[in-house]
Every structure is written in C-alpha cells, then in structure tokens.
Homo-oligomer: A and B are copies of this chain.
Amino acid sequence: MTNEKIPYKIYLEETEMPKYWYNVRADMKTKPAPLLNPGTGKPMTAEELSQVFCTELVAQELNNTDRLIPIPQEILDFYKMYRPSPLVRAYCLEKQLQTPAKIYYKFEGNNTSGSHKLNSAIAQAYYAKQQGLKGITTETGAGQWGTALSMACSYFGLDCKVFMVKVSYEQKPFRREVMRTYGASVTPSPSTETAVGRKILEEFPGTNGSLGCAISEAVEAAVTRPGYRYVLGSVLAQVLLHQSVIGMETKAALDKYGIKPDIIIGCAGGGSNLGGLISPFMGEKLRGEADYRFIAVEPASCPSLTRGKYVYDFCDTGKVCPLAKMYTLGSGFMPAPNHAGGLRYHGMSSILSELYDEGLMEATSVKQTDVFAAAEQFARVEGILPAPESSHAIRVAIDEALKCKETGEEKTIVFGLTGTGYFDLYAYQKFHDGQMDDYIPTDEEIAKSLAKTPKLS
C-alpha cells in the first residue's frame, strides 16, 4: 500500500491492534541494572518487591527475557474503548513551517484521562484486581497519572487512594475533581496520614510537597493496609512495557503505508511515554534490522539525562523505595517553582538510562518559554491544545523540521503527543501574560544535590 495517499489520520482497525506488549529488555545486550535493596545493597527479590507491588507486575518488572508479552483480553477490551489512538500527519504544521519534512504525531490525548498514562493504569489495576486486592495507592504530580488510575480503578471496582503533591492539589482543584468523579480519594501530600508525611512536615513545615514525598507516602499507605499495593505511573520497566502499546500501534500504522521514520522524538520525565513510543523501533535497532535517531526531550529545569549522573539513587524523598540505577539529579533535586507541567522527576527510567548511556538514543533539553511558544504555534494550526509535557516534543520536532527546511532533506519525523493541556491553562495564562521565565539550575546546585546519592555504584 506504499503508494496510497497518506490520510490525515491513520487509524488501525480493531483487528490490527497489537495483541502483545513489546519488552525491549529482551533485545538489550546489557540489561538495565536491577533495583537494589537500600538496606543490603543486593538486588531486590520478587518476594521483597511483592510486599509493595502486585505479584504479576513484579514478574513483569523482573522479566528481561520475553520479547512479547500477551495483553490480557480484559485489558484489550478496555483499550478498545479509546484505542487505537490516531497517528496524525501534521500537514498543516508542515505547511506553516514550509518544510520538506514529513511530520507525524501519535496522539494519546483522546481519552478522558487526557494522556497516555491510561495505558499502564488499566494494566496495573487489572493485575491488582486479579490478585484479589481491595485497592491501590499512588502519587500524582501534575495529575495525569492520578486521573488515569482513578478511571482504571473505577472500571474494575478497586479502591484508589491518591497522594497528590500539595502545590498541584491546591493549584489544580479540577484535576482533583476529575479523580473524585471516578471515585478516588485524593490527599494532599505531605499529609499527617502517614509517618513519613508527618516526619517531612515536621522537618519542612509549610512545604509545597514533591513527587518524591508523595511516593514515600503512597508506598507507606500501601504496605500498612491489608489488601493494598502501591503502583507507579512511570520510571519502572513494567510501565514502559505497558506503554509499548503506543510504539506497537505507531509501527503498525507506519508499516501499513510503508513509511519509515528517520527521527522519533518524545518528551521524557520518568520515561514512560518515550520508552513506550520508541520500544519496538529500538528493538529493530538493537537487532540491527533498521536504524533510527531517537531524541529524548527534557525540561532545561529538570535535565536528568543531559546534566545528571548515571548512578544508583533513591527513587523517593523518604527513602522507602528500592534504589534504581539511573541518570539522576539526586533524589533531593527540585525543579524551580516556576516550572510548569510535569517532567519534574529527578531520575530517568533505568531502561532509557542504559540505552542513552550506550549512545543508542540522544537527549536534549529545552526552555519552557520555548516550549509554550511551540505549544501555541502547534495549537493554532493543528487544533489540538497540547499538554506542556507533550510540547517539549513538539518544540524539538519543529526545530528538526526547520533544519530540514535549511538542508532540503525530506526526513520523516514522528513524535509522541502524550496528552492535552486542558488542566494546564494556568501555565498558558502565565505564558500569555509574559510572566513565565526560564530558570536553569546551576552546576553547583546539581552537584550539591548529586552529592547526596548513596555510595554504591
């Protein structure tokens, strides 16, 4: 079908939807470093992990060998409600840029959670239900993950307890209300509900909270309640596995029209979207079957890949989680308060960290005013109001397309449009009012934060 006209949106038929998640670790020669027990310094066993996480998810977390993992039928049925997501040819953006490049974006905002996070949320809720659990706990920052998990839990009739970073809880009351609509309970973090929350509040009274704090609280809430487990929306290998549905669909849609991308771009906070999008393409690259450029785009205010160190570090502020080897800015690192949107985690998925370290993937960082300028430009021609996170990828896609304009190259660029910006209009407003600035951490600040990583690696 190579010569067929490429439609604006490539939809797959239900029958063309992927039935497997793709596990990129199976094709990696050097596997990502294992999670370590912070007490013993030894790799976490399945038994240890199962006290915090659902049993089947632990198995997925530790599975470095199976390339394809069947998606259970009930998850496939849920996916059918909002997937396949469209792969859109950005004809209007191309025209505006007057670029010979061909730009495609995989749009994951077409579900009420408003982002790609639902792909893993429904999987994690499913396995929790299978295990006979009563409920699950989690943290949320910008709110995309909490929203997605609330939806998923509502679908399976699971209790859902969300610790929401306090500053987001207060600034985004509507995010909280969506979660409530889906029946979740939402607690601003740090809270007095957990020992670790009380300790943090004692040490930093009046703190606005952080993702690291909220993780600590959610983990404690899970392990101290019978019938509960903790779930996480990014960073972990299992999450990248579930998110591979994005990449599998993208590849199937491109293959359907005989299109081979040159550059694949994704925003990167913990790595869930980027990891999912690139997985099957990276597999081809690892197996020597094809070559692609992969670009991770991170905020200049939280540049874990581009300015962090590849070491073992704590995943949370309260240090109750296992240690992960990752590009990190140090678990105490906090992006400047004026940083809008998500992508504010101090570390990066161990899988992506390893791929980046081996030179299989590039990374770049962008300033947030440049990001919002790209967001607005994109919205005006392509219609979709993008999330700030997604707009990091838009920025670099536009920049790459403009390079093609200079060189005359007809490159094919694919980027992940992870979600919509309906709950981020406060940030858009700041941008419009000229009140948004770009704080970039100094080398000293990063070094100071990195000095506190544990001495293990």
Give the B-binding residues of A (Cβ under 8 A): 7-9, 11, 13-14, 80-82, 88, 92, 110-114, 151, 154-155, 173-174, 177-178, 180-183, 376, 379-385, 420, 422-423, 425-426, 428-429, 432
Contacts and interface: CB of A to CB of B under 8 A. Distances in A.
10 contacts: A9-B80, A81-B92, A111-B383, A112-B384, A112-B385, A174-B426, A177-B428, A181-B379, A182-B379, A183-B380
The list of the 7 closest CB pairs from A to B, nearest first, reads: A174-B425, A422-B422, A8-B80, A177-B425, A112-B385, A154-B380, A7-B14
Contacts of A420: 112
B383 A429 contact: no
B181 A112 contact: no
A172 to B, nearest CB: 10
B155 A82 contact: no
Given A110-B110, A177-B426, 16 more contacts: A9-B14, A81-B92, A81-B382, A92-B155, A112-B385, A113-B383, A114-B422, A151-B383, A154-B380, A155-B381, A177-B428, A177-B429, A180-B432, A181-B385, A181-B428, A183-B380
Contacts of A428: 177-178, 180-181
Contacts of A174: 422, 425-426, 429
Nearest to A80: B8
B82 A178 contact: no
Contacts of A178: 385, 425, 428
A66 to B, nearest CB: 28
- Among A174, A381, A420, A429, the most chain B Cβ lie within 10 Å of the Cβ of A174
Contact of A422 (B13, B423, B426): B423
Contacts of A88: 81
Contacts of A182: 379-380
Contacts of A111: 383-384
A385 B80 CA distance: 17
A112 B379 contact: yes
Contacts of A379: 112, 154, 181-182
A269 to B, nearest CB: 22
Nearest to A122: B383
Contacts of A154: 379-381
A358 to B, nearest CB: 38
A99 B414 CA distance: 43
Nearest to A430: B177
A376 B432 contact: no
A98 B178 CA distance: 26
Contacts of A381: 154-155
Given A14-B7, A110-B110, A81 B425 contact: no
Given A92-B81, A112-B384, A423-B422, A376 B181 contact: yes
A11 B8 CA distance: 14
A434 to B, nearest CB: 13
Contacts of A114: 422
Contacts of A110: 110
Nearest to A88: B81
B380 A177 contact: no
Nearest to A113: B383
Contact of A383 (B82, B183, B422): B82
Contacts of A14: 7-9
A181 B432 contact: yes
Given A422-B422, A426-B174, A81 B383 contact: yes
B383 A112 contact: yes
Nearest to A177: B425
A368 to B, nearest CB: 15
- Among A82, A155, A180, A385, the most chain B Cβ lie within 10 Å of the Cβ of A385
Contacts of A113: 383
Nearest to A82: B383
A362 to B, nearest CB: 30
A178 B384 CA distance: 11
Contacts of A376: 181
A427 to B, nearest CB: 9
A428 to B, nearest CB: 5
A122 to B, nearest CB: 10
